Structure 1
């Protein structure tokens, strides 16, 4: 497995301190983010999943703890939009240039607005997909937000 991806290159170009962790990706897992957390031995709230959604018909990227679900209402509110829905996997792959299960918010083909769940900001470090299945990058949540020029908001369902 290559540890150099568009995601890791984007982090390096932004002079972000990060490390990589590889694990055995299970394509049959019910919840890929939870499987990643278990595989690397980290609590699920520290391993963030990257989701692609549509806000008023336009793509957005959402980064939330792997044990949480996105509230579409809160997501729309965070971006000042009317309605949000999850993006179809094929569309997410086309826009990001990554395969589902390996979608990273870093180094996507098309830069889209990104939101990070505010709970993640309480962690000293988080793991986020590194741009391929079975690769996570470990970095500070603040560095992730800065690199992504993301908004931080409460976007998970209670």
Structure 2
């Protein structure tokens, strides 16, 4: 039995502590925004925030998380009331197939929580680990820059 603090709620799960956090989130907590992409931490589709840092949830054993706070895309807003960054991605039409977008948004969210005014070089460097196979990187960059220009809201 392990306990995870996900999106501000504690969950006790009867799972193998070696189970990747991604599977615990998707299969046991029904939080399906983070996607399985490569299983090797090379694409970023599974990115979530753990202790205010973006991590590849496919590589993190659930049992290693402990009391650290886990946040998924579901914590930022809903389809009816998207968060600021989610709305910017919508406005900039940053999603083509949409598979990578949850991970992209979570990586960007982690950056903006630490640096409310990153320059383009900082954004590009921070976002580099996450890949978009459709090639919407320029729209993703535009969405993040739009949030910076609006002023990051907490």
**Please, what TM-score do these two structures have when normalized by structure 1?**
0.29
Larger-Rg structure: 2
Which has the larger share of helix?
2
- Higher relative contact order, chain-length normalized (CA < 8 Å, sep 6+): 1
**Please, what TM-score do these two structures have when normalized by structure 2?**
0.29
